[in-house]
């Protein structure tokens, strides 16, 4: 693998394919190495590492969106669309955080996910969690530039930059992080409905606000369902 990174010295046309191959090979090294025998590890510690990284990425998303929206306000002296973008972006970040932490990951890793295949599915699935969360911040910044005329993107394209990362985050978090906790197939229906509703929100006048409201509604559904399954009243 170390020798393979000499592909950086290849001519320009061959350099990018070489880098892609090396990245894929590096990612597969742990799978190959662990196939000979599982290294002892602590489920709660590993879960905490992934949770903290998710928090960091969501925090960077909030920071990037805040800087972009603040700059847009300074250039345009405030519009209703920018207020909707700011409020929707904040609502999205809070809802994404809540949904990710709706169930404790260490309980999965301590039981069913000690199986080799499931362990790596959970771990590598977080690549999509991290990238979609980071892309959300970039999407909000892109839409702020669209509102102030700093980009030539169409309204639909700018809206998709907001809604696609949110949909990918939602589907991935459900698939790798929440679905193993669920005992009935119907529990995934609200996630599918909200994900399907988020994408068309790109064509709405306020895609961030619509997406944030949909995610907030899903948070309410998940919280109520958890309260009922635990047999305890949901706190107000």
Can you give the pLDDT of all 236 residues of the chain as single tens digits? 888 888 778 787 888 888 889 999 998 898 888 777 777 778 888 889 999 999 999 998 888 888 888 888 887 766 788 888 989 998 999 999 999 998 888 877 777 655 666 778 888 889 999 999 999 999 999 998 888 888 888 999 999 999 999 999 999 999 888 887 776 767 789 999 999 999 999 999 999 999 999 999 999 998 888 777 665 544 44
- Rounded Cα distance, 124 and 26, in Å: 13
- Rounded Cα distance, 158 and 180, in Å: 34
Tokens of 195: 């994900």
- Rounded Cα distance, 226 and 222, in Å: 6
In this structure, the dihedral spanned by the alpha carbons of residues 199, 216, 220 and 133, taken in order and rounded to 10 degrees, is 80
Q: What values do phi and psi take at 109, rounded to 5?
A: -65, -25
What pLDDT sits at residue 78? Answer: 64
What pLDDT sits at residue 167? Answer: 95
Cβ atoms within 10 Å of 18's Cβ, excluding its own: 17
Spell 164-181 as b/e; 16+ CB within 10 A means b.
Answer: bbbbbbbbbbbbbbbebb
Tokens of 28: 């597969």
What pLDDT sits at residue 217? Answer: 95
Q: Angle at CA 110, nearest 5°, toward 105 and 115?
A: 105
What pLDDT sits at residue 113? Answer: 53
Instruction: Specify whether the CB–CB gap between 191 and 173 falls below 8 A.
Output: no
From first CA to last CA, the distance across the chain in angstroms is 54
What pLDDT sits at residue 179? Answer: 82
The count of C-alpha atoms lying within 13 angstroms of the C-alpha of 226, restricted to the half-sphere facing its C-beta, is 16
What pLDDT sits at residue 218? Answer: 94
What pLDDT sits at residue 95? Answer: 94
């Amino acid at each position: 693998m170390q020798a393979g990174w000499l592909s950086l010295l290849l001519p320009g046309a061959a350099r990018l394919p070489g880098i892609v191959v090396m990245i894929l090979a590096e990612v597969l090294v742990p799978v190959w190495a662990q196939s000979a025998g599982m290294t002892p590890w602590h489920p709660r510690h590993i879960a905490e590492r992934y949770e903290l990284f998710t928090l960091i990425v969501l925090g960077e998303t909030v920071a990037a969106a805040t800087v972009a929206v603040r700059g847009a306000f300074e250039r345009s002296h405030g519009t209703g669309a920018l207020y909707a973008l700011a409020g929707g972006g904040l609502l999205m970040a809070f809802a994404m955080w809540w949904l990710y932490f709706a169930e404790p990951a260490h309980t999965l890793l301590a039981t069913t996910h000690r199986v080799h295949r499931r362990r790596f599915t959970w771990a590598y699935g977080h690549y999509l969690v991290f990238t979609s969360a980071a892309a959300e911040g970039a999407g909000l910044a892109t839409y702020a530039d669209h509102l102030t005329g700093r980009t030539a993107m169409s309204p639909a394209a700018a809206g998709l930059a907001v809604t696609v990362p949110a949909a990918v985050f939602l589907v991935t978090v459900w698939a790798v992080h929440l679905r193993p906790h669920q005992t009935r197939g119907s529990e995934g229906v609200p996630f599918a409905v909200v994900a399907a509703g988020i994408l068309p929100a790109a064509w709405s006048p306020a895609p961030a606000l619509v997406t944030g409201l949909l995610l907030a509604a899903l948070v309410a559904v998940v919280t109520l369902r958890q309260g009922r399954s635990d047999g305890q009243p949901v706190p107000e």
